Structure 1
Amino acid sequence: MKYNFKAPCSKKKLRAIRDFIGKNLKKHNLDDIEINMIVLAVDEVCANLIIHSHDCDPNESLELNMNVDAKHEGVTFEIIDRGEGFNILKYKEPSLDDIVRNKKKGGLGLMLVKRIMDHIEFKSSPRKNICKLYKKFENH
């Protein structure tokens, strides 16, 4: 089952993105913990794109395509934008000791994305960037 959502690059739209993901995952009888983890991961990627790649410019937008596979074994997200590309696969996560020692705010979101999702792909061209996230459902 496929779902699509397009949103302006505004932090105010993050709630709508989370609601879109959660509402559509609930249709597939997942437990709340699994839904919340998936929502957290996708929200983090979208927030980073909105804030860092688009400087919260509501004149720009991102597309979110969600596809629950036919056997309900997992879900794939495609997040498409036209901002400055950021390859999550090349992100070197800081150690927790460094984050605590430097009292740095942030830095944990992408670490969570990598731990929650089962597979991540990133493709960039001069016209668009596509971040694909895949999660296998736990109880299916």
Structure 2
Amino acid sequence: MAFSFPMQDRIRISCSRQNLQQVRDFVRGFLLEAKRNDLQVNQVVLAVDEVVANFIIHANNEDASQFLDLLLVLAGPRLDIEIEDHGNTLFLPPGKAPNPDLRAYIQQGRKGGMGMALVSRIMDQVEFFERNSHTVCHLSKVLT
């Protein structure tokens, strides 16, 4: 029986929007190296991008002196992602994002507020918790 070790990689970025492309490239490269299909790669990249952008903009006010750590672990079909915020404040959004009415959003001309609902649809599990006085977001998804 063949045993394969989990594949993993990590990256640290400062809390600047300019680093979002680096995060997208990092996640895309990791998943393509693992030979995952383009649709799932794009979905996961979108979900991670949204969470990281929320940490940068809402939790850290784009303070480039603060930083985030991202850890990607792929064990068989299961992908686990941890995004840890090293900022001074805890950023713990409500557990389950609401499932907004997209038609009403469009009719009202609203912008924003859809990100975490999208992340919840893409990923199998989304949770925020505190570890060592830092906010951590854990995302997981079984990839086919």
Superposed pair shares fold, TM > 0.5: yes
Q: Which residue of 2 aligns with 1:77?
A: 81
Q: Which moved more, 1:75-84 or 1:86-95?
A: 86-95
Structure 1's unaligned 5+ residue stretches are: none
- 1:29-108 mapped onto 2 (5 Å cutoff): 29-69=35-75, 72-83=76-87, 84-108=90-114
Residue 112 of structure 1, CA deviation: 1.0
String of CA shifts for 1:55-102, please: whole Å, max 9, x gaps: 111000111011011xx2121000000343132524334322442233
Q: Number of aligned pairs?
A: 136
Letter in 1 for 2:77: E
Name the SS for the 2:91 alignment partner: coil
Check if 1:20 corresponds to 2:26. Answer: yes
Distance 2:9 2:138 in 1: 14
How many Å separate the matches in 2 of 1:89 and 1:95?
A: 19
Measure how far apart 1:125 and its partner are: 5.1
What's the TM-score, normalizing by structure 1? 0.89
RMSD: 1.6
In structure 2, what is the equivalent of residue 10 of structure 1? 16
Q: Does 1:116 align with 2:122?
A: yes
The answer on whether the counterparts of 2:126 and 2:139 sit within 8 Å (CA) in structure 1 is yes
Residue of structure 1 in register with 2:4 after alignment = none
**Cα distance, 1:126 vs. partner?**
6.7
Q: In the alignment, is the contact (CA less than 8 A) between 2:51 and 2:116 conserved in 1?
A: yes
Aligned partner letter, 1:101: Q
| Aligned residues of 1:3 and 1:66 also touching (Cα < 8 A) | yes
Provide closer, same or farther for how the CA distance between residues 114 and 82 of structure 1 changes in structure 2, counting only shifts above 3 A. Answer: same
Q: Provide the identity percentage.
A: 35
